[in-house]
Amino acid sequence: MAAIESGLTDGQTQWEFSCDLEVDYESEENASIVYAALAVDKELQPDKVKRHVSVSNGKLSVHFVAIEARFLRASFSAFVDVLTLATKTIEEFGQAKKL
């Protein structure tokens, strides 16, 4: 689910830590809804952490890079908390829910 790599650079900044996350919603619509909900939250420290989010074939993919492991961990953790909330909301109130 997640992997840490090292060795990325961006000018003077050493983007040494990275992490990838992929969630399969099995629906382009649901993945796009989650993407739209999460896209409004920008990184609080873009000079220390960068995040790229995309949707393809019903999967939400996220790539993080950071200058330190602690910034990567904090950003990843906060993102997963909001991702979990958005996913639970779709599970509870999504169109597939039977009344």
Q: What does the pLDDT look like over 26-41, one tens digit per residue?
A: 999 999 999 999 999 8
- Is pLDDT above 50 for 3? no
At 93 the pLDDT is 86
Distances (CA, A) of 12 to 15, 27, 35, 50, 67: 9, 40, 31, 15, 11
pLDDT at 13: 66
CA distance 53 to 20: 10
Q: Are strands 49-56 and 59-66 parallel, antiparallel or unpaired?
A: antiparallel
pLDDT digits (tens, 9 = 90+) for 4-23: 344 444 555 688 999 999 99
> Which one is the CATH code of 8-93: 3.40.50.620, 3.60.20.10, 3.30.310.50, 3.10.310.10?
3.30.310.50
Residue 64 exposed, middle or buried by CB count within 10 Å (0-12, 13-18, 19+): buried
pLDDT score, position 14: 86
